Structure 1
Amino acid sequence: MRIYLKTILSSLALAAIVGVSAPHDANAADRIRVHGTVENLDGDTLKIKDSDGRDIVVKIASGLKVLGVKNASAADIKAGDFVGIGSQPAAGGINSAVQVVIFPASMKGTGEGDRPWNVRPNGSMTNAAVANAVKDVNGQTVTLAYKGGERKVSIPDGTKIVALTPATREDLKPGAAVSAQGVDSGDQTLAADRLAVGLDGATPPM
């Protein structure tokens, strides 16, 4: 019986979080992702429960580096930072952010560009450097500059914002939120080569 998993289509949010270095993996159509909470970790076998209550076994690739996700705020976004912002059209002519991922300097350039984001209707995922950031009474507006173009996005108060940081397998504690990406190896098992875990109560974005 094959595992119930969500196929990755054009969403770069999760792909960016777990380390995809280009917007289109050669085998993207075969890759899948899961979100859930840790039940337990035994060696290279991670058991998680998804949002629908399904139990999923994740086999972690040897030597895999775990990426941490911590909560952040709009005040943490500075000009020059490299970010991934999932957004959708809003009144006023510019997109409104749904979620923001702040990358560490070592991941600058990950999935750079602007492309459709199927998590929200008419959504866009933009991975780019912040050209400027302006704070006003209604939140913050950033201009994202990427090769070949730019996009201005408003970040309303309450937008989910996270920053990426190093983590270890010790952070895969029961109850921690996780996102895993890899291929379905059958028998209710995901063979994962990318893994992100929420730290201090944070949840990896969709």
Structure 2
Amino acid sequence: MSTRRTLAVSLLMLSLADAAFAQSSSDKPERIRGTIESFSGSTLVVHRRSGDTVNIDLKDATRVNALKAVQLADIKPGSYVGAAAMPGEDGKLVAKEVLVFPEAARGTGEGHYAWDLGANSSMTNANVDTVVQATSGRELKLSYKGGTNTITVPTTAPVVTLIPATRDDLTKGKHVFVIATQAKGGAYSGNQIVVEKDGVAPPM
């Protein structure tokens, strides 16, 4: 990985971590999920899953990345991952998606905290201690500063890693995951964007 690519990915991971801890305050990052309505000049128009449409101003420093699907088997002991999960019927955590962090981003956003992918969802950014084959997928034993978690990853859960993208990839109909800051007037300023590419949509 080149120095430029490493830096871009690392900055994205830092922003993802910041957004993970963000509160509802207007000066904190917000996660925006939806599909692109248009992109013209520096304005990205996104139709959110919630049903509303927002305009996001992209700055020169706004980073754009995409995702590449990887195999569940690619997660090994020693990998650093971010797993969004929800409690299963037995109360144990079941992954909705897993992001395998580039090595340059190891330690970013480390911990276990609430997430907004669904009711009672959580995010765990942690080191993989062990990988155990389970009936419905694989069971990851994760450790982070201050705690441990065990998460079952079904064979149907998306497993992805980050790759570079450009603004040329911001085309109508593509799914996006945007970290943006909302100003007092309601306008959004984009910090980081993860855009669908080659059929791989952001699952986070």
Q: TM range, normalised to the smaller chain? A: 0.7 to 0.9
SS in 2 for 1:106: helix
Residue 132 of structure 1 pairs with residue 130 of structure 2:
yes
Quote the offset at 1:105 in angstroms: 1.4
TM-score of the pair, normalised by structure 2 = 0.79
1:60-87 per-residue CA deviation (whole Å, 9 max, x = no partner) reads: 1222221212333312212211111122
Aligned residue number for residue 32 of structure 1: 30
**Pair 1:169–1:132, CA change in 2 (3 A):** same
Structure 1 unmatched ranges of 5 or more: 1-15
Contact persistence 1:83–1:103 (CA under 8 A): yes
Contact persistence 1:178–1:195 (CA under 8 A): yes
**Pair 1:151–1:162, CA change in 2 (3 A):** same
Q: Counterparts of 2:86 and 2:95 in 1: how far apart (Å)?
A: 7
Aligned residue number for residue 78 of structure 1: 76
Identity %: 32
Contact persistence 1:17–1:164 (CA under 8 A): no
Aligned residue number for residue 3 of structure 1: none
Equivalent residues in 2 for 1:84-163, closer than 5 Å: 84-91=82-89, 94-163=92-161
1:145-191 per-residue CA deviation (whole Å, 9 max, x = no partner) reads: 11122111111121132222222212212222111122224776421
Contact persistence 1:104–1:165 (CA under 8 A): no
Q: Counterparts of 2:135 and 2:86 in 1: how far apart (Å)?
A: 21
Partner letter of residue 20 of structure 1? L
TM-score of the pair, normalised by structure 1 = 0.78
1:123-144 per-residue CA deviation (whole Å, 9 max, x = no partner) reads: 3311001112122442111111
Q: Counterparts of 1:40 and 1:65 in 2: how far apart (Å)?
A: 18
**Pair 1:32–1:106, CA change in 2 (3 A):** same
Contact persistence 2:13–2:105 (CA under 8 A): no
Q: Counterparts of 1:140 and 1:153 in 2: how far apart (Å)?
A: 8
Aligned residue number for residue 196 of structure 1: 194
User: CA RMSD, aligned part only?
Assistant: 2.6
Q: How many equivalent pairs are there? A: 190
SS in 1 for 2:168: helix
Query: Where do 4+ consecutive residues of structure 1 move more than 6 Å?
Result: none
